[in-house]
Amino acid sequence: MDSIDQQVLRQLHQWLSDEQACWLCTIVRTVGSFPRPIGSLLACNDKGQMLGSLSGGCVEDDLLEKIQQGQLAADLPEVIEYGISAEQNEKLGLPCGGRMYVLIEPLSNRQLDDIALINERLGQRQCCERRIDLASGESSVEPVDQFRSLDYKADEQQVRQTFGPRYLIVIVGAGQLARSVAELALMLDYRVLVCDPRQSLIEGWTLDGVELVQGMPDDVVRQHVTDEYSIVITLTHDPRIDDMALMEALTGKAFYVGALGSTRTSEKRRERLRQLNLSEVQIEKLHAPVGMSIGSKTPPEIAVAIMAELTRLRRQS
């Protein structure tokens, strides 16, 4: 399942291939709180079609109207600021006191190969970096080894944006807590895969956007957790299910491996992993108890703690 960014980029490639006039809009800077992070994308064309999201509000409609009227980025890229007044924030449904800077780029067949390369790299779960010269409108794309935060230098009229693969969360156990974690993860644009060997639990799921696999979790982890953009979280409390998945995850390339349980339960789990011949270095990668310590008790609260820890670690990497 493609991420929102991949859907936007694939649509742009299709429009460019069909020689349609189209624009790529990117959040390059925010001040204060905003519903979408820096780097979020929106694509639109001269027919009024849009894909992607910048605010979840009226910013998208305002941008499209101004672009179609020729008021923005008719020939060269342009950065526009939203949130310059309380009145505008109220009109557009933006957070009070927040400001957002959006780069609008008119695209042409000159960018077709670059967009194709980005899509190719994302399909291979690899990173690439796109550089835009705002003064000339020229851009280039090069493969890179790791993801970097978007860099907008207003004084130099330069933007550098890395496109990387969507993070995959493999949730072991299809209970109520897994549903809460999956709902939050989907909202944050993770790819979510839930696995459980128990058919009755898998059959009870109806959450759209989640990939469901009935099978042994160690086999699922071995098949799907193949790079550092993967996350494994075990939630069953059953060592026969959780421990084998953890053993596979801790010996692989996963960005994060977490397990539900109290401090005492977690120490018992670590001892079992030692008996499975995992090294201390590998065991130290385990986040258990899983999530940030915020006093969470209910499934939604625990899900918030888990996703908060993942957000913090991703921002630090």
pLDDT at 187: 84
Q: What is the pLDDT of residues 262-275, one digit of tens each?
A: 999 999 999 999 99
- Cα-based angle 37, 130, 61 (whole degrees, multiple of 5): 45
Task: Say yes or no to pLDDT of 88 above 60.
Answer: no
To the question of domain 168-316 being in CATH 3.40.366.10, the answer is: no
pLDDT on residue 89: 54
Q: Confidence band (pLDDT; 50, 70, 90) for 116? A: very high
Per-residue pLDDT tens over the stretch 274-300: 999 999 999 999 999 999 999 999 999
Q: What is the pLDDT of residue 91?
A: 58
What is the spatial distance between Cα 78 and Cα 273, in angstroms, rounded to a whole number?
55
Q: Residue 208 has what pLDDT?
A: 83
Predicted local confidence at residue 233, as pLDDT: 98
Angle at the Cα of 129 from the Cα atoms of 127 and 131, rounded to 5 degrees: 170
**Range 89-118 average pLDDT:** 82
Residues 11, 102: contact at Cβ < 8 Å?
no
Average pLDDT for residues 107-117, to the nearest whole number?
94
| pLDDT tens track for 203-259 | 989 888 899 999 999 999 999 999 999 999 999 989 999 999 999 999 999 999 999
Question: 22: which strand partners?
Answer: 45, 107
Residue 39 contacts residue 161 (beta carbons within 8 Å)? yes
Average pLDDT score over the chain: 91
Q: Is the pLDDT of residue 57 over 70?
A: no
Residues 62-90 have a mean pLDDT of: 83
pLDDT at 169: 97
User: Taking the model in full, what pTM does it have?
Assistant: 0.74
Residue 291: predicted pLDDT = 96
Q: Output the six-digit token pair for 151.
A: 């860099």
All CATH 3.40.50.720 domain ranges in the chain, comma separated: 168-316
